[in-house]
Structure 1
Amino acid sequence: MKKQHFACMGLLCTIFWAGCSGSKSHSELSSADTTAAISNLDTAAKQVKLVKTANMHFKVKDVKSISQSITALTAKYKGMVMHHSMQAYTGRSERVPQGSDSVMLISSCITNADMVVRIPSGDVDAFLNQVGGMAVYVNSRNMDIEDKALDYLAAQMKFLSRSEFIAQQKKGIIKVKNPADVMNLKDDLIDQQIDNKRIDNAVKYSTVGLNFYQSNTIAREVVVNDDPSNFKLPFFGRLGYALANGWSIFIDAVIAMANLWMFAVAAIAIWVLYKYFKKKNAIAAM
């Protein structure tokens, strides 16, 4: 706290020096403005800006119904659901034939959900306790609290410093050659105001992240058999098709053999020559 007061006094000294060095013909801040600036900074230095964030991971009996219950509970506390997603995907699955055109698909289903809600900061503990009461058991629960008072004070001090600079520039005490520098300074003023608005909003409403899941379920569903190999003709149809196919194969074999007639003639000629030379060699040996 002492450091914050020293920072305030340092800022005031800086403003005082800028006013004196600008022009002898102009006075520095009026007594009323100086008193107001000191009062605002002193108030900011004493403020506590606690920003709470919480997370919970837990198991429930039914993800869908608990999602609806959490949404209703959030509305009860005048909060808001910022994000909600539910996922269901299959693990192992088996196909049990139910006939020639259908099968029963038996699947293991895994279901979970994620939610991000904003709750008034004073009700966060009560909200988490009630959500925990919906769970079969809680895997993890944590809360972080960060004090943004110094960030808030720094933004206010910068805002006052820049405001004083612009006021002196308008009066002609300080001359700025480049107009773009003045525009950038004004943009910084807006950014600091927005940053403090964000801090105020984060202090008022805490962000709570929820991740929950349920036990795996078994889903049974009769679906169309999409495997073409399971669709077969009746017995006599298959028999007729086999006879026709056999005749077609026989014809193809005959045609293939006809295409190879030169190989058959060559084989016969080689066999005749082999027998001839074998017989001739036998006679010569005698």
Structure 2
Amino acid sequence: MKRNIIAIAIILTIFGCSNAKNNSESTDLAEAKEMVIPDSAATPKIIKTADMRFRVKDVQNTKEQLSKTIKAEGGTVAEFSIESIIQETEKVKQSTDSLKEITSYRTEGYLIAKVPSEKLDDFTNTISKMAVFVNTSSMKLDDQSINYLANN
């Protein structure tokens, strides 16, 4: 029995010594990884989303101004559309054999832009100045730092 205990003690000592060597190597690797992580952790990964609905006098002109502003802020236009919606049509008798058709319509524009998050506040302030009337304006912050670190 003593012989088995001595054999087990010798085996554990051998494995214990070799594991100690591996532990120091893995500690070095862990320290190297720790040196890399603070660089990416130092910069927060925040996604800002802004939504604005506003009225303007000229939709096409405002779209062109927005495109210039987006490029100046280092962003891009991801999607846009302009649509004219007929609100009312009225036929008025002009003379005995002619009618005048009067149509009122509303032009709406929809634009999605991607702007660097650090410039989004300035961008939304600039847009607000282009508007005749701001219906709604909202901003949402989403911190993705933990997800970013989990994927690395």
Scaled by the length of structure 2, the TM-score of the pair is 0.75
User: Which residue pairs with 2:76 in the alignment?
Assistant: 80
Residue 66 in 1 paired to residue 62 in 2? yes
Q: Which has the larger radius of gyration?
A: 1
CA drift at 1:133: 0.6
- What secondary structure does 2:44 align onto? coil
| Structure 1 residue 36 corresponds to structure 2 residue 28 | no
Distance in 2 between residues matched to 1:45 and 1:83, nearest whole Å: 32
1:41 Cα deviation from its structure 2 partner: 3.3
Q: Residues 46 and 72 from structure 1, CA distance in 2 versus in 1: closer, same or farther, beyond 3 angstroms? A: closer
Give, as a single letter, the amino acid of the residue that structure 1 aligns with 2:89.
S
How many residues align? The count is 134
Equivalent residues in 2 for 1:182-261 (5 A)?
none
CA distance in 1: counterparts of 2:123 and 2:139, whole angstroms: 13
CA displacement at 1:114 relative to structure 2? 0.7
Q: Which has the higher helix share?
A: 1
Structure 2 residue 134 is the aligned partner of structure 1 residue 138: yes
Of 108, 111, 122, the residue aligned with 1:112 is 108
Letter of the structure 2 residue corresponding to residue 56 of structure 1: M
- Once residues 63 and 71 of structure 1 are traced to their aligned partners in structure 2, the CA distance between those partners, rounded to angstroms, is 12
Query: More relative contact order in 1 or in 2 (CA 8 Å, sep 6+)?
Result: 2
Deviation of 1:47 (Å): 3.9
Deviations 1:84-136 (A, max 9, x none): 11110111211234467753210111111110011122211111111111111
What SS does structure 1 have at the residue aligned with 2:115?
Answer: strand
Counterpart of 1:91 in structure 2: which amino acid? Q
- Given that 2:46 and 2:117 are in contact with CA atoms closer than 8 Å, whether structure 1 keeps it comes out as no
Question: Is 1:127 aligned to residue 123 of structure 2?
Answer: yes
| 2:7 aligned partner | none
Seen in structure 2, the aligned counterparts of structure 1 residues 42 and 78 have a Cα distance that, compared at 3 Å, is closer
| Residues in 1 aligned to 2:148 and 2:66: alpha-carbon distance in whole angstroms | 33
Q: Which amino acid letter does the alignment assign opposite residue 112 of structure 2?
A: V
RMSD over equivalenced CA pairs, Å: 2.7
Query: Offset of 1:46 from its aligned partner?
Result: 4.4
- CA contact under 8 A between 2:90 and 2:103: conserved in structure 1? yes
Range with greater deviation from structure 2 (77-86 or 100-109):
100-109
Q: State the secondary structure of the residue aligned to 2:122.
A: helix
User: Which structure 1 segments of 5+ residues have no match?
Assistant: 1-19, 157-286
Unaligned runs of 5+ in 2: 1-14
In the TM superposition, residue 54 of structure 1 has moved relative to its aligned partner by 0.6
CA, structure 1 residues 73+47, in 2 after alignment: closer, same or farther (shift >3 Å)?
Answer: closer
TM-score, normalized by length of structure 1? 0.42
Cα displacement string for residues 149-179 of structure 1 (whole angstroms, at most 9, x for unaligned residues): 11112222xxxxxxxxxxxxxxxxxxxxxxx
How far the C-alpha of 1:33 sits from its partner, in A, is 2.7
Structure number with the higher strand fraction is 2
